[in-house]
Structure 1
Amino acid sequence: MECCRRATPGTPLLFLAFLLLSSRTTRSEEDRDSLWDAWGSWSECSRTCGGGASYSLRRCLSSKSCEGRNIRYRTCSNVDCPPEAGDFRAQQCSAHNDVKHHGEFYEWLPVSNDPDNPCSLKCQAKGTDLVVELAPKVLDGTRCYTDTLDMCINGLCQIVGCDHQLGSIAKEDNCGVCNGDGSTCRLVRGHYKSQLSATKLDDTVVAIPYGSRHIHLTLKGPDHLYLETKTLQGAKGENSLNSPGIFLVENSSVEFQKYPGKENLSIAGPLTADFIVKIHNSGPANSTVQFTFYQPIIHRWRETDFFPCSATCGGGYQLTSAECYDLRSNRVVADQYCHYYPENIKPKPKLQECNLDPCPASGGYKQIMPYDLYHPLPRWEATPWTACSSSCGGGIQSRAVSCVEEDIQGHVTSVEEWKCLYTPKMPIVQPCNIFDCPKWLAQEWSPCTVTCGQGLRYRVVLCINPRGMHTGGCSSKTKPHIKEECIIPTPCYKPKEKVPVEARAPWYKQAQELEEGAAVSEEPSYTMLPTLGVGEG
């Protein structure tokens, strides 16, 4: 090579230096100016899944120090690990199980989310309170915290965005979409109060659908929460949550905490099955459950392909449309499922020219009119839905659907149905108001309004929907009464006023007619009087 030939006498040293530098063609102008060598190739990834780190090195060509760093990192293997792979930090702790600590063998469990030094390997001996730092640094690619993508690299916690780029500030929205706007899910918030008894030991708190995220439930009271699951394939399961801890239920990590008179249930999600949270009667008092989660919008508009051309030759047009698509079953459903979500905006049709070749009989091209004057394709047209046959609990509603055609003047006429069969006919009957009806819920009775004899007692009666929220819609005919009479068995007594001994019943009238100097009894006497109820004369 030219750069390697021996210098002949008289060859300027500056020229040799130029040959040496010019041979490093892989270095950028910035590298040459800073006297850094070119970056080397990337190392193997520190992990095969779950997000790891890879590095690249360069060397300083100057006899003095160079500005900048000689190592750079990037993320790699950003694919989910299979559930059986386990936690990466836990694997590093368990690697010390066969190494004695102070003369003893221990089974080591990971200590995560250390606020002071999240990138040291701290482990706890199983069944003890012993916590030991088994290594000053975890392996590159270990998550700093369990609820973020930030990873430890060379003992330091590095920010990682949801786009898996180091230093990125990209965040997932509550729906799990990186840099999303939250429009693909909705917040569900509710309250449940148990009404269990000796004959009804279990009840459903809430059904949380597949794909939901950020699930939090708090139970207050003596009862106990447990889970039932159902996969998309129909397989059912149950987890009784007998003890606190972190469990894997249908590949979803479930954290369960139990305290005296309180239970917490948290699932980050997304759920890989439908979860039904249930409650079991464990005490004489009622319990309350508050819950929140983000439910995915599973019905979304999807743009169709272009419909058949309006003409077979000589120039025509064709349109697209939009159909409502069920993301779970991967099939097209009725439009009203998409209309249920205000976040869903139906895309507008697109139009393009088609079949521009001349018709053989015409001998030439027909004139192509502007697209807004084209003769529109026949289409299905429907009347509004009738009122639902039931306000709740499931009903049906119907409508008329016919095939119509519109001319260029905008006049619409009915035509044969076969002209519209290039697109499925809209349904003429559909279920409606399939949610459960609200029910009256009566609270405890108040104390009696009197302390003796006959009075009244009251209670609050609320109309509660299936989510446990106070609402309207209950039938007034079935509303429990809010007041009733009550009798206190204690007799009521009232002291007599000092009246003349000659007085006779009614004592108060006769007393007014007596003279002021009449003799009266000095000793008080008592007589039983009837006690009137509230609202009576």
Structure 2
Amino acid sequence: MECCRRATPGTLLLFLAFLLLSSRTARSEEDRDGLWDAWGPWSECSRTCGGGASYSLRRCLSSKSCEGRNIRYRTCSNVDCPPEAGDFRAQQCSAHNDVKHHGQFYEWLPVSNDPDNPCSLKCQAKGTTLVVELAPKVLDGTRCYTESLDMCISGLCQIVGCDHQLGSTVKEDNCGVCNGDGSTCRLVRGQYKSQLSATKLDDTVVAIPYGSRHIRLVLKGPDHLYLETKTLQGAKGENSLSSTGNFLVDNSSVDFQKFPDKEILRMAGPLTADFIVKIRNSGSADSTVQFIFYQPIIHRWRETDFFPCSATCGGGYQLTSAECYDLRSNRVVADQYCHYYPENIKPKPKLQECNLDPCPARWEATPWTACSSSCGGGIQSRAVSCVEEDIQGHVTSVEEWKCMYTPKMPIAQPCNIFDCPKWLAQEWSPVTVPSFFVH
């Protein structure tokens, strides 16, 4: 019986060709990797805060061109800047304030969120409609858009995840939670229409609470927006928003654009105070304000830790509960506050067994017997035995050596050691003779 077949000439040729091709491919990959020098050290970060970029270079060792990149980037300084630092793009625009443009000095304000080229430095001359591209690209680490972590690197917008990694797909939800599901805030949108009045100077459009994000308001008409604020400490403030620009209002960045027929207000948030948006009536015509923002759910249910176990050994139970927590004051409040939000679902109590290890053997005693004497000292006794209890609560007697680590309770003790009562005879009293016997 034939156990194996002889390979045909065609099969051998195919096999040899496969080996040759594999060898060449392996060598070409090795040669390609060997054409590059090792990566160099990382450069200093382009920013000290707010998210910047750092780069590393490598050199081609071949006289021919090398395949691949000679530069790589990573994010750095991924900590929030202090509020007084201002907007990074605005800083780059203001750096041109002392440079003449067409023979004239201007105060330059940033133009953000350019859909066509977000990484060019476009600025607007304050108080005018003049918009100029002052540089073909912004500095590395500048945000492509005001409400995104994506950053400009070498003039190109690079995707940045909320884990601060380039190219990462991990994103913040609208509530600002990295890789969140959007359950910690609620979308608020609406429209307000002003009413002409000869006596009323202003109207309240909407109150936007502390911690809100992605705020956008558009006013169409002759009226004007202004802001009132109140911090958690009770401090109040006002801002009239008289000109286009980026402002810091109670440590919250406000981007305001003023046009002849409309006004646009944006705040990325999270807000560091309660904001009340109002409009000043011009009295000439009605105005409408459309608004949208994400409001945090300030009161949320919080599951407690497990309560102490019902038994120290031998098996017990413990439960969790839920408490209503105020995220602003960091304290527990009445449950009714959490019922205001239909998104809040109170977690059900959890039950688990605990302390399942068998209890150690112990001495167990019967009640004391009656005293052998009612007074004058007697003896009472009891039986003491070594027992074990299982997790079902069944108690059984075991050998006394299992209780050797705890002292044995006494099996007898004196009782009624007080003296017994007895009769005591005293001396006779003198005889008293009645008076009618004396003559």
**TM-score for the superposition, normalised by structure 1:** 0.55
Q: Structure 1 94/407 Cα, relative in aligned 2: closer, same or farther at 3 Å? A: same
User: Structure 2 stretches of 5 or more lacking a match?
Assistant: 435-439
Q: Structure 1 292/155 Cα, relative in aligned 2: closer, same or farther at 3 Å? A: closer
Indicate the SS of the match to 2:9. coil
Cα drift, residue 52 of structure 1? 0.7
CA contact 1:45–1:77 (8 Å) conserved in 2: yes
Q: Structure 1 68/175 Cα, relative in aligned 2: closer, same or farther at 3 Å? A: same
- Mapped to 1, the partners of 2:254 and 2:281 lie a distance apart of 22
Q: Structure 1 19/327 Cα, relative in aligned 2: closer, same or farther at 3 Å? A: farther
- Mapped to 2, the partners of 1:210 and 1:103 lie a distance apart of 45
Deviations 1:160-190 (A, max 9, x none): 2333221223333222223332222112233
CA contact 1:27–1:37 (8 Å) conserved in 2: no
- Mapped to 2, the partners of 1:309 and 1:80 lie a distance apart of 43
Q: Structure 1 320/56 Cα, relative in aligned 2: closer, same or farther at 3 Å? A: same
Cα drift, residue 75 of structure 1? 0.8
Cα drift, residue 310 of structure 1? 1.0
Q: Structure 1 267/116 Cα, relative in aligned 2: closer, same or farther at 3 Å? A: closer
Indicate the SS of the match to 1:27. helix
User: CA RMSD of the aligned region, Å?
Assistant: 24.4
Indicate the SS of the match to 2:3. helix
Q: Structure 1 441/358 Cα, relative in aligned 2: closer, same or farther at 3 Å? A: closer
- Mapped to 1, the partners of 2:288 and 2:127 lie a distance apart of 34
CA contact 2:371–2:416 (8 Å) conserved in 1: yes
Q: Structure 1 127/225 Cα, relative in aligned 2: closer, same or farther at 3 Å? A: closer
Moved more, 207-216 or 97-106: 97-106
CA contact 2:214–2:266 (8 Å) conserved in 1: yes
Deviations 1:454-490 (A, max 9, x none): xxxxxxxxxxxxxxxxxxxxxxxxxxxxxxxxxxxxx
User: Structure 1 stretches of 5 or more lacking a match?
Assistant: 362-378, 452-537
Q: Structure 1 385/264 Cα, relative in aligned 2: closer, same or farther at 3 Å? A: farther
Cα drift, residue 74 of structure 1? 0.6
CA contact 2:109–2:246 (8 Å) conserved in 1: no
Cα drift, residue 79 of structure 1? 1.5
CA contact 1:334–1:427 (8 Å) conserved in 2: no
Q: Structure 1 291/359 Cα, relative in aligned 2: closer, same or farther at 3 Å? A: same
Q: Count how many residue pairs are aligned between Structure 1 and Structure 2.
A: 434
Q: Structure 1 246/58 Cα, relative in aligned 2: closer, same or farther at 3 Å? A: closer
CA contact 1:196–1:202 (8 Å) conserved in 2: no
- Mapped to 2, the partners of 1:286 and 1:436 lie a distance apart of 106
Moved more, 217-226 or 272-281: 217-226
Q: Structure 1 422/277 Cα, relative in aligned 2: closer, same or farther at 3 Å? A: farther
Q: Structure 1 351/257 Cα, relative in aligned 2: closer, same or farther at 3 Å? A: same
Cα drift, residue 352 of structure 1? 3.8
Cα drift, residue 259 of structure 1? 5.0
Indicate the SS of the match to 1:439. coil
Deviations 1:18-53 (A, max 9, x none): 999999999999798544333222221111011111
**TM-score for the superposition, normalised by structure 2:** 0.66
Cα drift, residue 151 of structure 1? 2.1
- Mapped to 1, the partners of 2:304 and 2:276 lie a distance apart of 35
Moved more, 133-142 or 410-419: 410-419
- Mapped to 1, the partners of 2:425 and 2:165 lie a distance apart of 56
Cα drift, residue 73 of structure 1? 0.5
Q: How does 1:145-156 map to 2 (within 5 A)?
A: 145-156=145-156
Cα drift, residue 201 of structure 1? 3.6
CA contact 2:32–2:66 (8 Å) conserved in 1: no
Cα drift, residue 327 of structure 1? 0.9
Cα drift, residue 274 of structure 1? 0.9
Cα drift, residue 285 of structure 1? 5.3
Moved more, 320-329 or 278-287: 278-287
CA contact 1:394–1:434 (8 Å) conserved in 2: yes
CA contact 2:209–2:273 (8 Å) conserved in 1: yes
Moved more, 253-262 or 379-388: 379-388
Indicate the SS of the match to 1:179. coil
CA contact 1:196–1:203 (8 Å) conserved in 2: no
CA contact 2:221–2:261 (8 Å) conserved in 1: yes
Cα drift, residue 235 of structure 1? 0.9
Cα drift, residue 230 of structure 1? 0.8
Indicate the SS of the match to 1:19. helix
Cα drift, residue 60 of structure 1? 3.1
- Mapped to 2, the partners of 1:354 and 1:61 lie a distance apart of 66
Cα drift, residue 119 of structure 1? 3.3
CA contact 1:394–1:431 (8 Å) conserved in 2: yes
CA contact 2:88–2:142 (8 Å) conserved in 1: yes
Deviations 1:360-419 (A, max 9, x none): 78xxxxxxxxxxxxxxxxx99999999999999999999999999999999999999999
Equivalent residue, structure 2, for 1:428: 411
Q: Structure 1 224/107 Cα, relative in aligned 2: closer, same or farther at 3 Å? A: closer
Q: Percent identity?
A: 93
Deviations 1:79-136 (A, max 9, x none): 1211222232333344445556677665554454455544344555656676665544
Q: Structure 1 427/115 Cα, relative in aligned 2: closer, same or farther at 3 Å? A: farther
Deviations 1:63-84 (A, max 9, x none): 4333211211011111121122
CA contact 1:212–1:271 (8 Å) conserved in 2: yes
